[in-house]
Amino acid sequence: MATSSELHFVLVPLAAQGHIIPMVDVARLIAACGPRVTIVTTPVNAARNRATVDGARTAGLPLDLVELPLSGPRHGLPEGMEAVDQVIGHEPAMYIKFLSAIWDLAGPLEEYIRALPRRPVCLVADASSPWTAPVCARLGIPRLVMHFPSAYFQLAVHCLTAHGVHDRVDEMEPFEVPGFPVRAVGCKATVRGFFQYPGLEKEHQDALDAEATADGLLFNTFRGIEGTFLDAYAAALGKTTWAVGPTCASSSMVDDADSKAGRGKPADVDTGHIVSWLDARQQASVLYVSFGSITQLTAKQLAELARGLEASGRPFVWAIKEAKTDAAVRALLDDEGFEARVKDRGLLVRGWAPQVTILSHPAVGGFLTHCGWNGTLEALSLGVPALTWPTIADQFCSEMLLVDVLGVGVRSGVKIPAMYVPKEGEGVQVTSGDVEKAIAELMGDEPEAAARRTKAKEIAAEARAAMVEGGSSHSDLTDLISYVSELSRKRGHENSTALPSAAAEL
């Protein structure tokens, strides 16, 4: 078996911040065990994450970032449109074009690998990058598939597919997920796979095929919260499965102030200013509000949220990216005087905020979140209870896990993805009164709120324990590296012994 320093892993994330951030974390964790790791992405996404990779290299980790050109304009995309968050707000056809351009990265990826002096021992592909499967098959490289939503979500989607539920129910018809370890109720609009939408049939089938032929599966989670769902998913697919997270709880990330502040991309505000502002607040008194890089609330819904935050009387930090692009939102904050009225207890970040820095501050006692899996794990790892506001895809399952299974969340009242709200509703599902009530329930002094806080702290301790030597996720990571090394050795031996007999037949 090769020594760890002789191993080379190539990681290929989807071009989306919610996928690249944990993939970079995984790259750092693998590199910290000795193997050389290369992250392959497009120029725009490389620029967003280069500081984190450079920091890891400065710390001595054998980590590289390789850029592959995206043929966006050839598929009808504007030059420089290379990430999912850049596509949001355009017509649905633009997303189809974006995926076509991403699928076209197969050629440049194969050229890059063929040009290496030595084949990588493994390619770790995002589950949303199934176009990597034929490349690995042609080159004889072991391939692992990494899922970036929760195991809860993946298992729920699998159960629905296996039982044909989506084929026989209407979009909003409620159902109980069959064959699931716990009771889970949803509808097609709230429990569906990333590619289970009209027009994406090929991509959906590609993803299923790529997972079925993978040499193993990775999840950014830990067995303390998802062991039941992980085991059920591994059994259903007959795949070796590793839980290597929560990556954000790794000591190399938690103890590095720069890594926390720059996680994902540089913040649009001075991190020191936010920390100073939080230092002046009482412990666990502040609500942090963020909807991630993709979710876009309508101006009407943002106005209801703003009124609810104001009426709550609680201090808050609000990362409001819409203020950079939406004139109606800027008018709400400025012309209508919202920011001026809450200036003594509200801090607005007009863009990207240093989320981990904020959540790890002792003044923060709650997180109003869209339930993206990265943010969910960050909250769980730092012991912060959640006010859940899911908007798309896997987020409704994250809400069910947080509220119904783990008992560390309070629902805002969202029922369906915003895209299904009638136009006359203007995207509003949660009123200012709903917001005020939910904040009081999450951050109040009632026994239920205290129990949530206690449970959140217990889970955070489990998350940290999973990532240290001897912990479940650390053990899974080291087992994964050994598995890949042995698999690569066997596959290389099989390929080398097959060549002479093939030549003899000529």
Q: Peptide bond before 354: cis, by omega within 30 degrees of 0?
A: no
Burial class (CB in 10 A: 0-12, 13-18, 19+), 345: middle
Q: Quick check: 35 and 62 in contact, CB under 8 A?
A: yes
Q: Distance (Å, rounded) from C-alpha 265 to C-alpha 249?
A: 18
Q: Quick check: 174 and 185 in contact, CB under 8 A?
A: yes
Residue identified by tokens 């690569």 is: 488
DSSP 265: S
Q: Tell me the backbone φ, ψ of residue 218, rounded to 5 degrees.
A: -115, 150
**Catalytic residue numbers?**
19, 126
Q: Distance (Å, rounded) from C-alpha 104 to C-alpha 278?
A: 46
Q: Distance (Å, rounded) from C-alpha 315 to C-alpha 167?
A: 46
Pairing of strands 63-67, 122-126: unpaired
R_g of the chain, CA atoms, integer Å: 23
Helices 447-467 and 472-504 pack at an angle, to 10 degrees, of 40
Q: Tell me the backbone φ, ψ of residue 406, rounded to 5 degrees.
A: -90, -25
Q: Quick check: 317 and 288 in contact, CB under 8 A?
A: yes
Which helix (H) or strand (E) element contains residue 425?
none
Structure tokens at 445: 């002094």
Name the amino acid, one letter, at 199: G
